Chains A and B, each alone.
Chain A
Amino acid sequence: MVKQISIFLENKCGRMIRVSEVLGEAGINIRALSIADTSDFGILRLIVDQPEKACSVLREKGFMASVTEVIALEVPDVPGGLAKALSPLEEAGINIEYLYAFVQKRTADALILVRVENIDAALQVLQENDIPVISSERIYSL
């Protein structure tokens, strides 16, 4: 399981930049990011090298931030690769709340981050279907 930071952002100038400044000043490196937005707010989701520290420095600077656990999957960077990894979850009735990807620098595989409601059930399904789940240590140190 990988720890993801979620941050509430009002849709106003400079908030996104401020997040990266705060993390930069604390020596925290962003590994992956995704943003979900509506017309008046956004939720920024980050994978960083030091999630607990990131959450506490952001809170100190007045951001609403929380830690959520997500699953990191390695899927072959080929057509149909994603579907193959996700279909066992669907068959097991595990709903995917959201997912996003980041491409690694050195390998032929893509990394997918998946947020589900029941993380333990999802991990079990993935294991039974031999879908490789990436450890948090590897993600933080990428």
Chain B
Amino acid sequence: MWNRNHEAMPREKLARLQFLRLKQTLEAVYQLVPHYQKIFREIGAEPGDIRSLADLARLPFTIKDDLRNNYPYGLFTDGLNEVVRIHSSSGTTGLPTVVGYTRHDLEIWAELMARALSGAGAVRDSVVHIAYGYGLFTGGLGVHYGAEKIGATVVPISGGQTRRQVRMMKDLGTTLLACTPSYALNIAETMEEMQIDPGELQLKSGLFGAEPWSDNMRRVIEKKLQIRAFDIYGLSEVMGPGVAYECPAKEGLHLAEDHFIAEIIDPASGEVLPEGATGELVITTITKEALPVVRYRTHDITSLTREPCPCGRTHLRMAKVSGRTDDMLIIRGVNVFPSQVESILLNIGATEPHYQLVVDREGALDTLEIRVELTEQMFSDKVKGLEGLEKLIRDEISNLLGISTAVKLVEPKTIPRSEGKAERVIDRRKLR
């Protein structure tokens, strides 16, 4: 454990610390950020009216559009005066959002990443290979400063040129790989092509995040790379990677409650849901200086538990993110997450998770086609063998989701490989 005093703080003490820090954050945004001042006025309240952690639920949510409407610096507390770093979301779904960090913010971020990397087994002697993209994306630099804080040896290779990545990992004695889970699979496949056995590497663990992935996918990655794979969670609007991270128990991700307050809400009604219920994660930052956010809607779907964890960390655990409210496809009125399809494919066992969902509309009816890359284990020289496989996938999806789909087996390597976040969905309905 990187920071026992904080990561294993008794929960009563943690709650007192959270409330103290929440008060300071609310005072700061009320004084310094016009957007939040307006929100408090609209509900006829002042920060002093928030008298307990439960009172937080009285405040309205902050959403991504609030960041966009105040682009670029409108939600910053003090303009750029103390800001030493900018990161940004990719902006593929509209205007980009810009986030800023003071020096203190960066120190805390590095602390959180040091906790996450330690949870995944990183120590001073580790060689940490960072294949997250470097640049405006928070993945690369976020992990980078955490690994340096531990004193590990950092290989800041960024994404792309996968064969070179494999060679470097082998030559440099990499012990920990940090990248997106879909890129980890790409690396594993490239190693197979290069006829390099994972046993020739020193690789022991991987820290994978920035996109939802299933436990089944974890098993595939762990088997192919012969490592232990850990999940890490974060988002740039709140901080970046390190908001929550898995411990060796791998029974949920500890969310750094000394820096954030987490709630689960019903995404439709906005009501706070009881502990254990699945819904949308909402996060309030309580130590961020440059850009605090109050009740930020993450769109990520998970559940929370405060049950004690065998690892000794006291911070609550969130379940692996099962999808995003904005990744959610609504097909003929049924909610479908790509991760559900992924776990079905992996449960069939014979498949590797290279798949793509193609949604289209014929007349008034939505159609879903699932393209699945054929693997050696799945291949049969008999038509009925392959048709049987297609039917099995169709039936499993129909059992789980109650919708009929078309399954199309495709040739190997025909679904584009990810060098960052995998593109699992092609929604042609939007083009019309």
A interface residues, Cβ below 8 angstroms from B? 4, 6, 8-10, 15, 36-38, 40-41, 43, 45, 62-64, 66, 68, 97-98, 115
The verdict on A8 contacting B382 (CB below 8 Å), with A38-B387, A66-B376 known, is: no
The verdict on A10 contacting B382 (CB below 8 Å), with A38-B387, A64-B374, A64-B376 known, is: no
Prevailing SS type, chain B contact patch: loop
B42 at the binding interface (Cβ < 8 Å)? no
CB of B376 within 8 A of CB of A8, answer no
- List CB contacts (< 8 Å) of B375-432 with chain A: 375-376, 379, 381-383, 386-387, 408-414
The residue on A at minimum CB distance from B414 is A10
Chain B residues with CB under 8 Å of A43's CB are 381-383, 386
The residue on B at minimum CB distance from A68 is B381
Chain A residues with CB under 8 Å of B411's CB are 8-10, 15, 62-64
The verdict on A10 contacting B410 (CB below 8 Å), with A41-B386, A64-B376 known, is: yes
CB of B383 within 8 A of CB of A38, answer yes
B interface residues, Cβ below 8 angstroms from A? 374-376, 379, 381-383, 386-387, 408-414
Given contacts A64-B375, A66-B379, 7 further A-B contacts (CB under 8 A): A4-B381, A8-B379, A45-B381, A62-B413, A63-B412, A66-B381, A115-B382
Chain B residues with CB under 8 Å of A37's CB are 383
The residue on A at minimum CB distance from B407 is A40
Chain A residues with CB under 8 Å of B383's CB are 36-38, 43
Q: Report the minimal beta-carbon distance from A89 to chain B, rounded to whole angstroms.
A: 17
Chain B residues with CB under 8 Å of A115's CB are 381-382
The residue on B at minimum CB distance from A5 is B381
Q: Report the minimal beta-carbon distance from B358 to chain A, rounded to whole angstroms.
A: 13
Question: Bound complex: CA of A40 vs CA of B375, how far in Å?
Answer: 17
Chain A residues with CB under 8 Å of B379's CB are 6, 8, 64, 66
The residue on B at minimum CB distance from A115 is B381
Closest 9 CB pairs of A and B: A6-B381, A68-B381, A36-B383, A62-B413, A64-B374, A64-B379, A64-B412, A10-B411, A8-B374
